[in-house]
Amino acid sequence: MYVQAIKMKILLITTHPNFEKSIANKTIVAQLETDFADIEIRNLDKLYPDYQIDIAAEQEALIAADIVVLQYPFYWYSVPGMLKLWMDKVLSYGFAYGTGGDQLKGKFLLQSLTVGGAKESYHPNGYNHFKVEEFLRPIEQTAYLAQMKYQEPVYTFRNFQKEGVWNSESQVSAQAMKHATVLKERIRAITSSKKTAVKEFVSEWFRHFDTLDGNGYFVQYLAPEVQMKFPDSDAFTGHDGFHSWYNETKSGFEGTTTHDVQNLKVREVARHHFELDMEVALKGTMTTGAMVDLTVAESWTLHWDELSDRPVIDRYLVSLKK
């Protein structure tokens, strides 16, 4: 569940051979400019009418960005010539790839393109034969080479307009608004926090502790080199240490336990990296018949793994509440 947006810098690189007469691209760019305060829009055709790209300025803009959006019309199954020139000049060896070329590592790359033809033409039985995604493979691979986080592209069909022949201006304009809405949602999804999901995970974690669930449930959320410390044991690292501690602890209880989480505080210190502090009131019965009723202070650090879309605990420290 996404709830809280965190500040990320958006860089929009756009190019169009005739931007002022464009319907779709002009509308989409205007919508993004209106909705996002922290966005830098670089219209390559306006910046470089002589095609003399300022490589240093473009690289500086890329370095400052967290999300890079490429907005363009689909031209001959690829990007317009200006965007290809920009890529050739700016994404250079030592900057975007190769030795020392890690300046774009971890940044998000999102393509937004307007396709002139009909959807059915981009099909094995259509006159373009291939799906749009297949034509975009070179850009996708460029992102991988630059160690960027490639996002599923946003695109719409039938954006070409010729009065009396193909589509109407109002039709293309309306579709561009829908395109912009989808694109804005995709950007917001990237910039949104997992804080609520982390809180829900904490509740689920302790529900499984209540039932003294099997080890397998817990270790799937522990980093391989997780650091852990409990009041009744020395500090340890890794899954083997958790197995030893949990098996011994579990065998000492009779039946189930209850964990009441109080004063939970979750801080997002970097995108998808969290620090948690909480108090946990534990009640249970030992196999000896003794009753357990104590409160501990817990401090966690965890990150949300984007590939598996789940939390991973990196550090888990527990101390008796004084």
* Alpha-carbon span 151 to 158, nearest angstrom: 23
DSSP state of 77: T
Q: How confident is the model at residue 165 (pLDDT cuts 50, 70, 90)?
A: low
* Alpha-carbon span 124 to 147, nearest angstrom: 32
Comparing 160 with 264, the larger pLDDT belongs to 264
Amino acid 288: pLDDT: 94
In one-letter notation, the amino acid at residue 250 is K
- pLDDT above 50 for 166: yes
- pLDDT above 90 for 260: yes
Amino acid 17: pLDDT: 87
Ramachandran angles phi, psi of 111, nearest 5°: -95, 135
* Residue 114 CB-density burial (10 A; 0-12 exposed, 13-18 middle, 19+ buried): buried
* Alpha-carbon span 71 to 111, nearest angstrom: 6
- pLDDT above 80 for 205: yes
Please give the average per-residue pLDDT across 144-158, as a whole number: 94
Please give the average per-residue pLDDT across 81-107, as a whole number: 96
Q: How confident is the model at residue 4 (pLDDT cuts 50, 70, 90)?
A: very low
R_g of the chain, CA atoms, integer Å: 26
Asked whether the domain spanning 195-320 has the same topology as the one spanning 10-191, the reply is: no
Using alpha carbons, select from 81, 75, 86, 91 the residue that is nearest to residue 13.
86
Q: How confident is the model at residue 117 (pLDDT cuts 50, 70, 90)?
A: confident
DSSP state of 200: H
Cβ–Cβ under 8 Å, residues 142 and 100: no
Amino acid 297: pLDDT: 96
Q: How confident is the model at residue 5 (pLDDT cuts 50, 70, 90)?
A: very low
Amino acid 189: pLDDT: 86
Using alpha carbons, select from 226, 225, 208 the residue that is nearest to residue 217.
208
Amino acid 170: pLDDT: 84
CA 66 remoteness from chain centre: 10
* Alpha-carbon span 315 to 317, nearest angstrom: 7
* Residue 88 CB-density burial (10 A; 0-12 exposed, 13-18 middle, 19+ buried): exposed
Enter the CATH code of domain 195-320: 3.10.450.50
Other residues' Cβ atoms within 10 Å of the Cβ of residue 137: 10
Enter the CATH code of domain 10-191: 3.40.50.360
Using alpha carbons, select from 77, 85, 121, 120 the residue that is nearest to residue 13.
85
Please give the average per-residue pLDDT across 121-130, as a whole number: 94
- Chain position carrying tokens 């879309």: 309
Cβ–Cβ under 8 Å, residues 107 and 190: no
Domain ranges of the chain: 10-191, 195-320
DSSP state of 246: H
* Alpha-carbon span 48 to 36, nearest angstrom: 25
Q: Residue-wise over 30-49: b if at least 16 C-beta within 10 A, else e?
A: ebbeeebeebebbbbbeebe
Q: How confident is the model at residue 162 (pLDDT cuts 50, 70, 90)?
A: confident
- Dihedral sign computed on CA atoms, order 64, 69, 72, 77: positive
Task: Report the predicted TM-score, pTM, of the whole model to 2 decimal places.
Answer: 0.69
DSSP state of 122: S
Mean pLDDT of the chain, nearest integer = 92
Q: How confident is the model at residue 1 (pLDDT cuts 50, 70, 90)?
A: very low
Comparing 195 with 263, the larger pLDDT belongs to 263
Q: What is the pLDDT of residues 39-72, one digit of tens each?
A: 999 999 999 999 999 999 999 999 999 999 999 9
Least confident of 199-203, 216-220, 318-322: 318-322
Cβ–Cβ under 8 Å, residues 89 and 53: yes
DSSP state of 10: E
Other residues' Cβ atoms within 10 Å of the Cβ of residue 121: 15
Amino acid 3: pLDDT: 35
Please give the average per-residue pLDDT across 232-241, as a whole number: 94
Please give the average per-residue pLDDT across 264-268, as a whole number: 92
Please give the average per-residue pLDDT across 293-309, as a whole number: 93
* Alpha-carbon span 42 to 24, nearest angstrom: 17
